[in-house]
Chain A
Amino acid sequence: MKHLRPVNKKAQRIDDLVTAAGEDVVALQNQNPAQRPHIPMGCTLAFSPGWEVDSAGGTAGLCQPVERDIYDCYVTCFWPAQVPDHLNNYPDWASKCASATKDWRHLDLVFP
């Protein structure tokens, strides 16, 4: 019966009633989750240093300073910029850098 559609107000009200019956009651305190950008795979889609954004598409969710976030990409894939794929190819890229905020210059550059 999906090809049927209401053509007058009464039919529209009946249609709304049927639709509403299928919905659920939700407590007001339960807020809808905020709209987020759709990121199909990985941490980032483009290598564009300086344009990093957080998981909500903004910059307010990034750590301050942003270097604090670098290491988390390859543990939880949070960092939105590209880091070397340590799981398969570059396990030692951070072996000379104890603290990304202070020693980020010691992180290895990799050339795939």
Chain B
Amino acid sequence: MKHLIVWLTLSCALCRGGTLFCGAYPDWVLVIDESKGKVTERIHMTTGLPRSLRLSPDRKTIFVSTNDHSGFEVIDVATHKITNQFVLDTPTHRYRINGGAPDPQGKVLYASTTEIVKEVDRYTIGKPKYSIIDLTEKKIVKSVDQPEQPAGGRGGGFGGGGFEVSPDGKYLYQFGAKVTVLNSSDFSEVEKIDLEISGMPAENLGLGGLIEALSDPTQRVSIFNFSDKIVHNRVFGLARFDLNTRKFDFTPIGPAPSSLGGLHVTPDKKMGYAVSINGEGGNQRCEFMGIDLTNSRMARTSEVPCRTRFSFGISADGKKLYMYGAGYEIDVYDAVTFKHEATWNLENDMTGSMVVLP
């Protein structure tokens, strides 16, 4: 009998899936149980429509940026309670916020902001700025004008891209048309690296993490495009950044497609999955790509029917792939066979990328 109880307890623990957190219309963060494929809880956002979610480096907190009044809410992962919330907008000042990232202590957010001032007879739209948003004081405590950057980046402002923060909090990595390393204290440029982040633009708006599936706080691994200086041939490959030393290595894999969804990595860090998109409109074709991260080579690909707009994700155990966004459904695929398994109906349209936790 004792063995049976132990066996039942173990099997129950093994069958338990992860938890997904997903922003949804009109003002909810949905909590989804992976094992059931259902919404188990709805967390209400009093500041409005959640635009993007970002997990803290210690994975204990989720930062939510909301759209209606440039708001922020902080969710405690353990209790699913809101621990902090505020809005930046005032009756005369509004902000657009992009590409934000929390510092290692979770006290401030670094972001690109554009201020919109309501004058007596017009709105004045300010220049994009790098900003530090203090979560305790609940306001922007420092802003610095952004330098103009070549088009092609994403994440707001001049298209400089989203941020990552080094583990010691001293440097910001801005992933856009190039990788720019900035001092976190004054946003002065330290270094520029000739690699372009490859990813679907919509994923990097707001506070959405660039490569959140990778849990190593000292290293970021993602798919980047590289263009040689002779014939400008674009290839995509894996780049590994050491966020402490600012060193990186790049392994080319193949010709760069029109668009490539961000890399999501299995918990054992052996496999990574991405979606490539070629063609436009009715000619759009999508392909799942399984990348062997041990050898940095393509392991398998398979064409999949994709939505016109979508986000891409992976389950907590790395066995399922998710295609979602632009609607209320999550399409679930097997990560080994790339076959469609199920469609989960959430009843609410989703926004931005979701956060996956074991």
| Interface positions of A (Cβ within 8 A of B) | 24-27, 29-30, 34, 54, 56, 58, 60-64, 68-69, 71-72, 74-76, 78, 86-88, 91-92, 94-102
Query: Which residues from A are CB-within-8-Å of B123?
Result: 88
Q: Is B231 an interface residue (CB 8 A)?
A: yes
Once the chains are docked, how many angstroms separate the CA of A72 from the CA of B67?
12
Query: Which residues from A are CB-within-8-Å of B281?
Result: 54, 56, 58, 60-61
CB of B129, distance to nearest CB on chain A (Å): 18
Q: Is B212 an interface residue (CB 8 A)?
A: no
Once the chains are docked, how many angstroms separate the CA of A75 from the CA of B349?
13
Are B94 and A27 neighbours in the complex by a CB distance under 8 Å? no
CB of A99, distance to nearest CB on chain B (Å): 5
| Interface positions of B (Cβ within 8 A of A) | 24-28, 48-49, 51, 67-69, 94, 96, 116, 118, 123, 201-202, 205, 230-234, 255, 280-284, 307-309, 326-328, 347-349, 351
Are A71 and B25 neighbours in the complex by a CB distance under 8 Å? yes
| Majority secondary structure of chain B interface residues (helix, strand, loop or mixed) | loop
CB of A91, distance to nearest CB on chain B (Å): 4
Once the chains are docked, how many angstroms separate the CA of A34 from the CA of B284?
13
Query: Which residues from B are CB-within-8-Å of A97?
Result: 25-26
- Residue among A30, A61, A74, A99 making CB contact with B349, cutoff 8 Å: A99
- Residue among B205, B234, B348 making CB contact with A98, cutoff 8 Å: B348
Are B309 and A69 neighbours in the complex by a CB distance under 8 Å? yes
Are B327 and A68 neighbours in the complex by a CB distance under 8 Å? yes
Are B202 and A76 neighbours in the complex by a CB distance under 8 Å? yes
Once the chains are docked, how many angstroms separate the CA of A75 from the CA of B25?
12
Query: Which residues from B are CB-within-8-Å of A54?
Result: 281, 308
Are A98 and B25 neighbours in the complex by a CB distance under 8 Å? yes
Once the chains are docked, how many angstroms separate the CA of A29 from the CA of B228?
13
Closest 7 CB pairs of A and B: A60-B282, A60-B281, A27-B233, A91-B68, A61-B281, A98-B348, A27-B231
Query: Which residues from B are CB-within-8-Å of A68?
Result: 307, 309, 326-327, 349
Are A63 and B326 neighbours in the complex by a CB distance under 8 Å? yes
Are B349 and A29 neighbours in the complex by a CB distance under 8 Å? no
Are A72 and B94 neighbours in the complex by a CB distance under 8 Å? no
Once the chains are docked, how many angstroms separate the CA of A29 from the CA of B116?
42
Query: Which residues from A are CB-within-8-Å of B280?
Result: 34, 56, 61
Once the chains are docked, how many angstroms separate the CA of A94 from the CA of B27?
10
Query: Which residues from B are CB-within-8-Å of A87?
Result: 94, 96, 116
Once the chains are docked, how many angstroms separate the CA of A101 from the CA of B349?
9
Also in contact, A25 and B349, with CB within 8 A (given A76-B202, A96-B26, A99-B328):
no
Chain B residue with the shortest CB-CB distance to A54: B281
Query: Which residues from A are CB-within-8-Å of B283?
Result: 60
Are A75 and B67 neighbours in the complex by a CB distance under 8 Å? yes
CB of B233, distance to nearest CB on chain A (Å): 4
CB of B46, distance to nearest CB on chain A (Å): 12
Once the chains are docked, how many angstroms separate the CA of A86 from the CA of B348?
19
Contacts A/B (CB < 8 Å), 15 sampled? A26-B231, A27-B232, A30-B234, A63-B309, A68-B327, A68-B349, A71-B25, A72-B202, A86-B67, A87-B116, A95-B26, A98-B25, A98-B349, A100-B25, A101-B328
Given contacts A63-B327, A87-B96, A99-B347, list 5 more A-B pairs with CB under 8 A.
Answer: A58-B282, A63-B307, A69-B309, A98-B24, A100-B349
Chain B residue with the shortest CB-CB distance to A102: B328
Once the chains are docked, how many angstroms separate the CA of A87 from the CA of B94?
8
Query: Which residues from B are CB-within-8-Å of A101?
Result: 327-328, 349
Query: Which residues from A are CB-within-8-Å of B349?
Result: 68, 71, 98-101
Query: Which residues from B are CB-within-8-Å of A27?
Result: 231-234
Once the chains are docked, how many angstroms separate the CA of A102 from the CA of B230?
52
Are B232 and A26 neighbours in the complex by a CB distance under 8 Å? yes
Are B94 and A88 neighbours in the complex by a CB distance under 8 Å? yes
CB of A85, distance to nearest CB on chain B (Å): 11
Query: Which residues from B are CB-within-8-Å of A86?
Result: 67-68
Also in contact, A98 and B347, with CB within 8 A (given A29-B233, A88-B94, A91-B48):
yes
Query: Which residues from A are CB-within-8-Å of B230?
Result: 25
Once the chains are docked, how many angstroms separate the CA of A54 from the CA of B283?
14
- Residue among A25, A58, A98 making CB contact with B26, cutoff 8 Å: A98
